Amino acid sequence: MLSLYRRHRPRTFDEVVGQESVVRTLRNAIELGKVHHAYLFVGSRGTGKTSMAKLLACALNSEGGPRTDFSPEDPVCRAIMTGSSLDVVEMDAASNNSVDDIRELRENVALSPMGGARRVYILDEAHMLSTAAWNAFLKTLEEPPAHVVFVLATTEAHKVPATIVDRCHRFVFGRPSLEQIAGVVKRVAAEESVTIPDAAVGMIARKAAGSFRDALGTLEQLVTYGGSEISLESVLETLGAASPRLILDTTEALVESDPRLALESVQRLAESGRDPEQFMRDLAGHLRHLFVLQTMGSVPDSFAVTAEWSDRLTSQAERLPQAAIMRAIELLAVALAAVKEGSEARLALEVALLKATQPQADQSVQALMFRIDQLEARLGHPSGEPAAPAAEPEPASASPAPRDGLPAGAPEAPVTETAVPGVSAAREPARVSAAGGAAVAVATAEAEPVTGSEPIAAPVAVAAPVPEAAPRMDLERIAGLWGVVAEAVREQNGMMGALIAGSVPCALDGDRLIVAFPEEAAFLKKKAEANRELVLAALRSLTGQSFVVAFELRKPAEEAAPRTLGEEDLIEGLIREFGAEEVFEDQNFEDSSAPDMKD
């Protein structure tokens, strides 16, 4: 029995889904009698390249053809679709890629069609041919007999020699959308009398990753597993995907910044036996749903595995900031990349979730900026404003006493520490938090009463004045930050970060910053200019200002020649540094007790 995807191949041009431009061009070529002798079909797997080649063969060999409105019930067309036609030759280049295979093909090309008007050669996975095979095939492809049409199908067009591509009409098969794949799955399920919920169809469409063949293969597997009644639970079980409840609970850990709940979710995932790598993809997809919901106000039905959990979906979208969503998606992408490179999947997932729930545990520049954004949000929110300092007890006298040279009523200078005679104060260093131009300095003190005296209350917190605007950056400050700038660039592009670390800010004119490379490093300067945006973004994120950066080549500054020490300077230095004693030559001979060296 044929598989689902073979039974439900498109049998006419009208049934093709997602390749409108290819269908229109081929139809016009057939109707106008301008069919080329060689075509190159390029596209990812399962997008319909072989099916389109067979439809082209049917159109060229149908009764009364060539014609685009051929009947799929035509005996010739039916033979082509079932693979029994002698005029359509399908060849797998992955296993027939030698020169001998191509020589055999060249000998068969001269044979006339058996029952139709054209002989169509479909060469699948054409990029697998060897270089020698391509060279042997080149002349035949360029000047085949008039009754021959070649269709080369490949998923990796960059591996096909340019001399072959030049002799073909190239068609690019795009990936179908989720809606298109879901529509095909629903149509096939209806034709096969299979009942399947929309949420399960959405999961199959996402799992297919742009391949009709994979989607129908998954549907067939589900029918084999659970019969004609397919449930969401059977889809989760077959695909190894986590339940929507677990995905929502893990997202709740991100909302609450709860690392314990995040690790408990990973433990539940491990106990369920589901794949952590697939869970990371599903969680990233759910976070994307939240982002789309925040931006557009609703999530398309085709997205949602969690459509039945719409209330929790909406609640999480309202409570999780977009910056936190984007950061979590980036951390999951890094974790997936680490798994591909050989890291253990569960560990990569746990690290990503811990970094997402505990930004303070992440020492990257991006994590630092995220924490600053969070602090700004708290300070700007009414509930996040710092509490006012506690009121000090009023003195007994009506007017305050003068203070160390200050007249009564004069404003006090900012205070960070207070020393009271007879009081032992254990102080912590002043903690300064800068966000949005505001700075708050807090000093704590514990007061102990002196024997025989009343306890004296020490001030708890004193607010420093808030500057109106951050000062403009000068060259000295930029030079001091240059190592941090290089590190920020290194996180985006390792090679570029190393280049910037070897450069020096040398001049600042307004917003125009000149960065110098050594005179012999012209190549490094050229690479830096090609990646200028990375430097600009790093400077903007670290300083809050926008600069125009220019790279130049300059000679290194000549170092001053070292001063030559005289004899007296040398002796003084030895006495000062090493405690040496000056011994004169005459004294040395008089005091010497060494035996006479005369013969």
Task: Please return the burial class of 72, using the count of CB atoms within 10 Å of its CB with bins 0-12, 13-18 and 19+.
Answer: middle
Q: How confident is the model at residue 500 (pLDDT cuts 50, 70, 90)?
A: confident
* Strand ranges, E, within 307-448: 431-435, 438-442
pLDDT score of 552 more than 50: yes
Q: Are 262 and 227 in contact (CB under 8 A)?
A: no
Residue 310 has pLDDT above 90, yes or no: no
Alpha-carbon gap, residue 436 to 414, rounded angstroms: 21
Query: Where does residue 550 fall: left (phi above 0), alpha (psi -120 to 50 degrees), or beta otherwise?
Result: beta
Check residue 594 and give its pLDDT.
47
pLDDT at site 557 = 54
| pLDDT value, residue 561 | 41
Q: Determine the pLDDT at residue 59.
A: 92
What is the pLDDT confidence band of residue 456, given thresholds at 50, 70 and 90?
very low
The whole-number pLDDT of residue 380 equals: 63
Which of 425, 429, 468 shows the shortest CA–CA distance to 448?
A: 425
Please check the confidence at residue 281 and state whether its pLDDT lies above 60: yes
Query: The tokens 């397919």 sit on which residue?
Result: 230
Say if CB 422 and CB 435 are below 8 A apart: no
Place 461 in a pLDDT band, splitting at 50, 70 and 90.
Answer: very low
Q: According to the per-residue pLDDT averaged within each range, which of 136-150, 422-436, 574-588 is highest?
A: 136-150
Asked whether 49 and 43 are in contact (CB, 8 A), the reply is: yes
What domains sit in the chain, N to C, each tagged with a CATH number? Answer: 4-173 (3.40.50.300), 178-186+193-216+226-239 (no CATH), 244-376 (1.20.272.10), 475-554 (3.30.300.180)
Averaged confidence pLDDT in the chain: 77
Which of residues 416 and 525 earns the better pLDDT score?
525
Instruction: Report pLDDT for 95.
Output: 85
What pLDDT, on a 0 to 100 scale, did the predictor assign at position 38? Answer: 93
Distance CA 332, CA 341 (A): 14
In the predicted structure, residue 109 carries a pLDDT above the cut 70? yes
Average pLDDT over residues 241-245: 79
Residue owning tokens 């979208």 = 317
Which three-class secondary structure state does DSSP give residue 438?
strand
Instruction: List the alpha helices (DSSP H) in 178-321.
Output: 178-191, 198-208, 212-226, 232-239, 244-256, 259-272, 276-296, 310-319
**Segment of 152-161, 196-205, 235-244 carrying the highest mean pLDDT:** 152-161
Residues 426-441: pLDDT tens digits?
Answer: 334 333 333 343 333 3
CA–CA separation, 121 vs 102, rounded Å?
12
What are the tokens at 214? 């994979």
357-382 pLDDT, tens digit per residue, is 887 666 566 666 666 766 666 666 54
d(CA 477, CA 176): 52
Residue 192 has pLDDT above 70, yes or no: yes
Place of tokens 């949000």: 377
How large is the average pLDDT for residues 195-202? Answer: 86
Q: How far apart are CA 26 and CA 202, in angstroms?
A: 32
